[in-house]
Amino acid sequence: MNYTIGIDIGTTGTKTLLIDEAGRIRASAVAGYKLMTPAPGWAEQDPAWWARAATTSVREVVESSGVDPAHVAGVSLSGQMHGLVALDAAGKVLCPAMLWCDQRTSAARAWIENTVGMDRYLRTVLNPPLEGFTAPKLIWLRNNKPGIYKKMASFALPKDYVRFRLTGALCTEESDAAGTALFDVANAQWAWDLMEPLGLDSSLFPAVRRSVDVAGTITARAARSTGLLQGTPVIAGGADNTCAAIGAGIIKQGRVSSSIGSSGVIFAHTDTVRTDPQARLHTFNHSAPGKWYLMGVMLGAGLSLKWFRDTFAQHEMDVEKRTGRDAYEQLSRLAEKAPPGAGGVRFLPYLNGERTPHKNPHARGVYFGISQGTQRSHMIRALFEGVTLGLKDSLDLIEDVAGFKVKEIRATGGGARSAFWRQMQADVFGRPVCTLNHDEGPAFGAALLAAAGAGLYPSITAAVNKTVKVRTTINPNMENHKKYLALQKTFRSLYRSLEPEFNTMEND
């Protein structure tokens, strides 16, 4: 029996899985780390934390599984998109990594748009250079940290940096490169014609592989720290969203996933390049070779719930410490006590700005409609509803742009673990919501990429068809769906009314 390992470099921790050829999970491990916010709108991490978490968790799954390392056919990685790791000529990290949720780059974004022109930019990249993307981070670094920028010989995305530490080979792959906003998505290459007007040296840009390509092998040093054999193939891997989609079987046009983790993602596979003329959706390269996807992203999905837990749910956290009963599940049970519509309370989940559909880094979270009769359960339910309604904004846009009706949504991420939230998604979307035979997120998709890249399967499609199955289907309550359609109008109207205030508040 052969095995593969998938490593997901997430925002709050790294998750590693060891699976067999049939897709059965033989061992898993998680290693956490913190998020640094040294200034409002900033979000940073030390890349060394990711590398340490990866090696520690790989060693743990190898040892706990009892698998002979000689039978590990390959390793692959998934990771948070858009992050910037600045490296010198020796591969040394020059400063903390700027993450996907970092919003400090508004001036750099405006400079890019004015310098290149949005029409030209979108023709090549198909996506705007939003604040969280890598392109404005490079410009910000050049403008604000010139000493560091002058020392920079290359840059890496988060999972690519970890792969570099495991193999000594620095490269990226199509799905993650697409999220830099410096990639020619249709032709799967760097957008070389934009480098001159942006003043970016082509030598900074790593080689681009396909997600299923072998990108390197485990070095002697990495073998000692992970317990793997030197020479074990390391497959290029993919962005967290594409790996999560592969793990959910989203490799066929018409299939859509709803992923609720720190961010929220609606992901739709497409066989051809499709774009939103207003650039509210992202068009990126899939980790399935020669395919693409449309994606809507909410920046503060699970992060909104985490904020509420950390700020207002000390009681639930204390109960979790005493009894082991998950604080999030306690909050879910409280929310379930409130009726649909949360007693008139509305929540806008824009704690860190918003990407889809508003493209507004200045947007902020709002509770609206609180009265003397408002109870804690209303506040919690309103938060769940606000996040889910924000995801429906993306779903509606995808159907308009893709030109097909979504019939089935596959739930993934932390939100998929809550029966209450799965039912709410079905009710808000008005579509069946499915769960799968596993709930392991991007790490599982990365392990499947390793299986395909190492030759255990002839293609990623074959790997998915063998290992990913629908387990349950939740049908929508159509009465609740009608209520949510009406609530969605209020949800959207609130944003439009407050948008001028968001933008003014940012300048105060």
- The catalytic residue positions are 240
- CA-based nearest residue to 436, from 169, 282, 167, 250: 250
> What are the Cα distances from residue 457, in Å, to 201, 454, 461?
39, 8, 9
Q: How far from each other are the two terminal CA atoms of the chain, in whole angstroms?
A: 62
Q: Which residues of 139-155 are buried (b: 16+ CB within 10 A; e: fewer)?
A: bbbbeeeeeebeebbbb
Place of tokens 């996907």: 100
Three-class DSSP category at 287: coil
- CA-based nearest residue to 54, from 162, 211, 170: 162
Q: How far apart are CA 448 and CA 442, in angstroms?
A: 10
User: ∠ CA 88-89-92 to the nearest 5 degrees?
Assistant: 45
Q: How far apart are CA 155 and CA 190, in angstroms?
A: 14
- Six token digits for residue 317: 């956290």
User: ∠ CA 484-364-360 to the nearest 5 degrees?
Assistant: 90
Checking DSSP bridges between strand 282-285 and strand 292-298, what pairing results, if any? antiparallel
Q: How far apart are CA 330 and CA 321, in angstroms?
A: 13
Task: Put residue 390 in one of left, alpha, beta given phi > 0 → left and psi -120 to 50 → alpha.
Answer: alpha
Give the contacts of 21 (CB within 8 A, at least 6 positions apart): 1, 2, 3, 451, 456
What is the 3-state composition of the chain as percent helix, strand, coil, each rounded to the nearest 5? 45, 20, 35
Helix-helix angle 419-429:376-402, to 10 degrees? 50
Q: How far apart are CA 177 and CA 82, in angstroms?
A: 8
